[in-house]
Structure 1
Amino acid sequence: MSPESESDLMETKITPSPSQEKMLSTSAQNVLNCFSLHRKGQRPRSWWQHRLTPDQYADVLRVLDGDESLRGYVEDKIRLDYDPRRSRLTIRNPSPLHEIFCAEVVSKIMNRLTELQKSDEAFGDFARKIQYLSTSNIRLPNDTNDIQQTYSQRCPDASFIHEYAKYPGVIIEVCYSPKIRAAAGLAEDYILDTNASVKAVIALNIEYRGCKKATISVWRPNKMTVDGVKELEAKAVIEMMPFRTESGLPVDDSKQPPLQLSLRDFAPKTISQKYPNLDQDILISSKELCDFLSSAEAAHQKQLLGQGVEEPLSPGTRKRRRAQTPSEELSSEE
């Protein structure tokens, strides 16, 4: 968050109602103030993190329960992660560039899934049961020795889930500094906390300052035996592999496309093992990723400059708006 926003954060203080008499910690108050500033249009940087213990997070939720308007805004407009294991709250605020690029990658995967869905073979039926989720909330159970189960909340940039699965099989995160530093931890949580129900976590890092370099990382579940004990880890099978050079050109990937998925990646083994022949490839080359990113950059720049063709209004034409109904008018509380 910028210095100006940090100052505003201290000045914009939400006062708990009398029913919320319990004194709020500074951390809980700062988070609530950030929510309020967000609603006023003063957004934090793309990846804003704040230390917040589970008890402090519970206090934040308690205050939101007493402020229906702010709670509705937070639930509807703020992309939020909360990790009780690390006592960390994260507000995601991706730019249009990241969202456009992510949409391009998702579109490519969806087009390939649509092709596979047309098949009369068993894998076609499997493919027809795969759903795309856009910025959905995922609750991940934490490993705990306590009696009470705790959960992390995650809001990935994109994910794909099988109709019968509890968790997505494939997750995509579009990264930027400092989010890229959190990517390995995110991938580990997605894979380990779902007992490897998540089969592939893809991180696309598209912001390297001072150059046009872009990279891809992919994590998958890896099961092994160490000293006679079975262990599950999130293994980086591709780590910071460039798909675009510093000068903006696609990397030669004639040996191996950087993004490789198969249908079996989209569901837990208990589901996929019932279907034969799921080794149907979904491939995206470096050139395609590079083209998607260049297209997203051009679209973002056009938005920033206000460019593009619009429908002209005939001279002398007035715009007639309908009158607001009483139900549409805001009350003083709203």
Structure 2
Amino acid sequence: MQTPDGLGVTPPDKAIALPLTPPSSAKGSSPAVTAVLRIFALHRAGQLSPWTKTKISPEEHTELWRRLPANARLCRYVEEKVRYDFDPEYHLLVTRMPTATHDAFIAKIVENLLFQLKTISESLPPAEAKTISQIQWQNTSRIVLRDEPGAGGDETDYKLNPKYPMRYPDAHFRHSSEKYSHVVIEVSYTQKHHNLPYLAESYIIGSGGSIGLVIAFDISYGGRSSKATISMWRPRTWVDDAGVKHLEVIQVIDQVPFRSADGTPTSGTLSLRLLDFVLPETFRDVRPSVQDTPISITHEVLAEYLEAAEDNEKKAQAGLTRLPAHEQVVVHKREWSPEEEYDSDDDRGIVERESRKARKTDEKDEDWVELAYHAALNIAFSICTNYPGQKVGTNLATHASGDNHAKATGELPEPQRDRLKEIGESEVKLVVANSCQNMQWGN
């Protein structure tokens, strides 16, 4: 199985820094866990890149989920909003933060595929139609890749005892009678592109071949080129002369463009079959001719979906609002009383005490995150400017000093400069080096 080298490269404009001086609530804990907590906080603040990687062991993952409940608001946010992949074998946690373009593009693809499945189902006799209607889009639910027969465990077990890789694919389709989704779809950014073969292999091998198709769309988000491509992987099994069964992953489509660099659609079609959406055993009562029913999306339609998604994000950023920013408006808000939320005075007292503690912790943590974020961002920017094209990893401590450090910190607001003077250059060097370990920045 491939190793995920370079997984989740973070661009300089979204560098994630380890905290400079942890608040009292974080002292004595693993630096990796503290870093992940800060990443989650940046996610909540909307300051995270779409694909951010962190090194963290299974033991640290357990510590993470033991610590998170201490901050009720952040814990609830992570459980409801944060999508992250975790690989216990390679000690990798990748936090996903999809862009508006990403979400709109994947939504149109899913809508198209669901419509075709529904159309096929409606044309068939009741028994076959029922089987096909049970193929459902799984939205952004997680997949735990337990390739051991009979492996189980609920959500809590996984958080505290993560034995298996966990993935949050961008979209996937699963038949209600099957354990795993059979089709997985990923939308790739520049950072994520080089990890797609590893991701595809992880899905297919980790599911024991039950995931039968991984489709990846590389939309080169934020790049100079408008080129967008399709890649696809399938499982392959065979038996050797000794009678041993083998499972491997083969790439059947390798970065075939559906939109050229100048933004024009290419000729071609993404072609699937109905059988691609289920295990063969699931279709044992479905006629072979029905199983071979084509399901396809032309490159022209895919390019239209992507262009519409990109335009929609641009308009959302610069579009009209009901209350323009230059107008002065007095806003009247309804008063809200939380009395009905408490079953007793005791409950109310407990909630209020915990809320006060959480607010104090959050305020300290958010100030800390902002300081660390801006410090590392400026230092990293200076390094990348002075060392163009160079991969910056564990040797970052060598560069995060002298003129680089002075230039970077000189661009910080005065309160942050004063704070960095208190901390000292040596500690800042160590912090930035640790936070950027395993990150690779180019031009």
Report the TM range for the smaller structure's normalisation: 0.7 to 0.9
> C-alpha distance in 2, partners of 1:283/1:5?
37
1:38 matched residue in structure 2 = 43
Aligned AA for 2:95? I
User: Does 2:282 align with 1:271?
Assistant: yes
1:260 matched residue in structure 2 = 271
After superposition, give the CA deviation of every residue in 1:220-257 in whole Å (9 maximum; x if it has no partner).
1111234543211121110111111111111122xxx2
- Deviates most, 124-133 or 78-87: 124-133
User: Does 2:90 align with 1:78?
Assistant: no
Cα distance change of structure 1 residues 232 and 262 upon mapping to structure 2, 3 Å threshold: same
Cα distance change of structure 1 residues 237 and 3 upon mapping to structure 2, 3 Å threshold: closer
Q: Which has the higher strand share?
A: 1
Could you tell me whether the CA contact under 8 Å between 1:175 and 1:205 is conserved in 2? yes
Aligned AA for 2:276? D
Cα distance change of structure 1 residues 226 and 239 upon mapping to structure 2, 3 Å threshold: farther
Q: For 2:224, which of 193, 210, 232 is the aligned residue? A: 210
> C-alpha distance in 1, partners of 2:294/2:136?
17
Question: For residues 83-102 of structure 1, what are the structure 2 equivalents within 5 Å?
Answer: 83-102=87-106
Could you tell me whether the CA contact under 8 Å between 1:16 and 1:63 is conserved in 2? no
User: Does 2:178 align with 1:199?
Assistant: no
- Deviates most, 119-128 or 108-117: 119-128
Q: For 2:313, which of 289, 295, 300 is the aligned residue? A: 300
After TM superposition, give the deviation of residue 4 of structure 1 in Å: 8.1
SS at match of 1:141: coil
After TM superposition, give the deviation of residue 7 of structure 1 in Å: 7.2
Q: Which has the higher helix share?
A: 2
SS at match of 2:263: coil
TM-score normalised by the chain length of structure 2: 0.65
Question: For residues 79-158 of structure 1, what are the structure 2 equivalents within 5 Å?
Answer: 79-121=83-125, 122-141=127-146, 150-158=163-171
Aligned pairs, number: 317
> C-alpha distance in 1, partners of 2:274/2:128?
8
> C-alpha distance in 1, partners of 2:68/2:142?
18
Instruction: Flag the structure with more relative contact order, 1 or 2, with Cα contacts below 8 A and sequence separation at least 6.
Output: 2
1:248 matched residue in structure 2 = 263
Could you tell me whether the CA contact under 8 Å between 1:47 and 1:179 is conserved in 2? yes
Aligned AA for 2:235? P
Consecutive unaligned residues in structure 1, runs of 5 or more: 313-317
After TM superposition, give the deviation of residue 135 of structure 1 in Å: 1.1
1:315 matched residue in structure 2 = none
Aligned AA for 2:335? A
After TM superposition, give the deviation of residue 322 of structure 1 in Å: 3.7
After superposition, give the CA deviation of every residue in 1:284-309 in whole Å (9 maximum; x if it has no partner).
1111111111111111111111248x
Cα distance change of structure 1 residues 111 and 14 upon mapping to structure 2, 3 Å threshold: farther
> Which structure's CA Rg is the greater one?
2
Q: For 1:290, which of 303, 306, 320 is the aligned residue? A: 303
> C-alpha distance in 2, partners of 1:52/1:269?
38
2:51 matched residue in structure 1 = 47
> C-alpha distance in 1, partners of 2:298/2:17?
45
SS at match of 1:103: helix
2:251 matched residue in structure 1 = 236
Could you tell me whether the CA contact under 8 Å between 2:183 and 2:214 is conserved in 1? yes
Could you tell me whether the CA contact under 8 Å between 1:43 and 1:93 is conserved in 2? no
SS at match of 1:134: coil
> C-alpha distance in 2, partners of 1:293/1:65?
39
Consecutive unaligned residues in structure 2, runs of 5 or more: 1-9, 150-160, 325-329, 342-350, 360-443
> C-alpha distance in 2, partners of 1:72/1:322?
25
Could you tell me whether the CA contact under 8 Å between 2:184 and 2:213 is conserved in 1? yes
- Deviates most, 56-65 or 261-270: 261-270
User: Does 2:247 align with 1:220?
Assistant: no
> C-alpha distance in 1, partners of 2:112/2:23?
44
Percent identical: 33
> C-alpha distance in 2, partners of 1:252/1:6?
38
